[in-house]
Amino acid sequence: MVAFDKCETRPAHIDAILNGLDRYNPETTTVFQDYIQQQCEDRSFDCYANLALLKLYQFNPHLLQPDTVTNVLAKALTVFPSPAFSLCLALLPTNTQPFPATSEAQAASQTSDFVESVQKLARLSTLLESAQYTQFWSTLNSDDLYADLTADVAGFEELVRIRIAVEVGKTFRSITADSLEQWLDVRGRDALGKFVADVCGWKVEGDVVTVPTNKENEARSEVKSERVGVDMFGRVIRRGFEQAA
């Protein structure tokens, strides 16, 4: 799980802004925007800084840059199942939400390219959060707009693929190679074998991928015991000998 307010690669000047009053200064938006670009390039992720920028956009709507916002959302997809995407989405204007509440918001959502972009990314988030991995990849590949929205995020597909593998590893001890190929969008048994061996440390044995035991997928029996003393029922026993009123 990605830490909400911690980032080991956060530059000192960004940390100083986040811990001072300048985080509310509209002039710092350009600094945060440059930092978003840096995250896209070096594959880092700083949720706290990104949320601070979205908050500045919320206070200063005229400063909002659609491309920066979609980059923030695309980066948040690469760290699922953390709540980063939902937190970012909650700071955006109401008319950008996947289910506009008013007729005015619905009308705006039909005429804005920015809103369409946000809602498409929200669709990808929903598919990842609900573990519909095959549909995630088919949706991602179904429209060139998705490619445009994720183009600035270096290694987007690889980062998402790794996160999916992490979630699969928490659930399964073994899985068919065919299913894993679809979930990871890795075509060919050789490519799958290389990925699971180099990235995950798993093994492909025939048509089955074996996942080593870990604290998440290990079957453990729990034996719970409770100590119940007579003194705990003292009041009940005493009431049994009391005379009825």
Determine the 3-state secondary structure of 176 from DSSP: strand
**What pLDDT, on a 0 to 100 scale, did the predictor assign at position 83?**
93
pLDDT digits (tens, 9 = 90+) for 130-188: 999 999 999 999 999 999 999 999 999 999 999 999 999 888 888 999 999 999 999 88
Question: Is the pTM of the predicted complex or chain greater than 0.85?
Answer: no
CATH no. of 12-154: 1.25.40.250
State which amino acid sits at residue 79. V
| Contact predicate 73/50, CB 8 Å | no
**Concatenated DSSP letters for 141-153?**
TS-HHHHHHHTTS
| Contact predicate 183/138, CB 8 Å | no
| Contact predicate 51/62, CB 8 Å | no
Peptide bond into 11 cis (omega under 30): no
Place of tokens 């080991």: 8
Q: What percent of the chain has pLDDT over 70?
A: 86
| Contact predicate 117/70, CB 8 Å | yes
Phi, psi of 176 (to 5 degrees): -65, 145
Q: How confident is the model at residue 222 (pLDDT cuts 50, 70, 90)?
A: low
- Give the residue extent of every domain in the chain: 12-154, 155-218
User: Which of 48-57, 129-138, 200-209 is predicted with the least confidence, judged by mean pLDDT?
Assistant: 200-209
